[in-house]
Amino acid sequence: MRINGATELYGIMGNPVAHSLSPAMHNGAFAALGLNKAYLPFAVQDVGQAMTGLRALGIRGVSVTIPHKEAVIPYLDTIDPVAKKIGAVNTLLISNGAIHGANTDWLGANRALSEKISLKGASVLLLGAGGSAKAIGFGLLEAGASLTIASRSPEKGRALAGLLGCPWLPLAEAATARADALVNATSLGMAPQQELLPIAREALANFGVVMDIVYAPLATRLLQAAGQTGCRTIDGLAMLLYQGAAQFELWTGRQAPVEVMRQSLLTSLGCNP
Ligand code: NDP
């Protein structure tokens, strides 16, 4: 990458951001298409000041991650309608000092699932009631799927199910459900909880497709057990990749070089030789 007087700047704002895989993924994509753009990590504490800074410095696009996905919303000039429903923004597009907010997490999840299942009319059991579950839940409704939420905490789970207009189950009863697809949007399976399954192994035969959004490790216990049961599986890299591809396309208007981005992510995760 050559930085010069015409280089356009992009980045990720969150706190912390040092662990983020997005700089490798987006810089790899910019380089592959020969674009004079660079992408940096921004560790941000004060969101209001950061938003003023983005405008003032002419930064073109920003990914937003934890804990700022909701806090950026009051500072936007315009917001995408689905991001507004979700109540969280993971992508900023900045043009002539105006900031537009969008959410590509749901687009990434839907694209990942759509490689294995047609979502229109499909039934989905969604595990978890955190930030990712919310984006995935709204996205599945956009795609015409029918949902059930199962989560550990009844308050959060019932509140999300109420927003989505769908049934809620305690996580401990998730094994009683049947659906075309199961999506794990809890952090069970992620280090340091990598030995834990979010649902009983015996119940996996109740689902045709199993997607785990946890990507560290990539081959989670859940996906290993689902594969052994005969389910079609989707790992957490797919959602991460496709939400990034959707960001790239919003920022550049060009088709994202998905294979290049996938390899950058795999290398960052230590999965490439
Ligand atoms: P949140 O903290 O917002 O939500 C975490 C969810 O996991 C909550 O519903 C929480 O339950 C549940 N949970 C955590 N520990 C347990 C446990 N021991 N037993 C039962 N439930 C548990 O996190 P996010 O939604 O942001 O992220 C969730 C996971 O998804 C993380 O592993 C993250 O790395 C991954 N992720 C992957 C992405 C991708 O693109 N592949 C994108 C974003 C996140 P409760 O409601 O009861 O607290």
Residue-wise pLDDT for 128-149, tens only, equals 999 999 999 999 999 999 999 9
Q: Among all chains, which residue has been given the structure tokens 């980045």?
A: 11
Q: Which of 69, 85, 116, 120 is catalytic?
A: 69
Note if 69 is an active site residue: yes
Quote the pLDDT of residue 273: 64
Annotated domain spans of the chain: 8-103+239-268, 107-234
Cβ 128 under 6 angstroms from ligand 1 = yes
Residue type, 267: T
What CATH architecture is 8-103+239-268? 3-Layer(aba) Sandwich (3.40)
185-239 pLDDT tens trace: 999 999 888 999 999 999 999 999 999 999 999 999 999 999 999 999 999 999 9
pLDDT tens digits for 58-110?
999 999 999 999 999 999 999 999 999 999 999 999 999 999 999 999 999 99
Does the Cβ of 242 fall within 6 Å of ligand 1? no
Which of ligand 1's atoms lies nearest the C-alpha of 189? 32
Which H or E run contains 54? helix 47-57
- Cα of 130 to ligand 1 centre, how many Å? 6
Same topology for domains 8-103+239-268 and 107-234, yes or no? yes
Q: What is the mean pLDDT of the chain?
A: 96
**107-234 maps to which CATH number?**
3.40.50.720
Residue from 132, 171, 239 to probe ligand 1 pocket by mutation (most atoms less than 8 Å from CB): 132
How many angstroms separate the alpha carbon of residue 96 from the centre of ligand 1? Answer: 36
Six token digits for residue 78: 């315009």
CA dist 134 and 263 (Å) reads 28
List, in sequence order, every residue forming a beta bridge with 170; answer none if it has no partner: 151
Instruction: Out of 86, 186, 211, 223, give the residue to mutate to test ligand 1, the one with the largest number of ligand atoms within 8 Å of its CB.
Output: 186
pLDDT over threshold 70, residue 6: yes
Global model pTM greater than 0.85: yes
Decide: helix, strand or coil at residue 69. coil
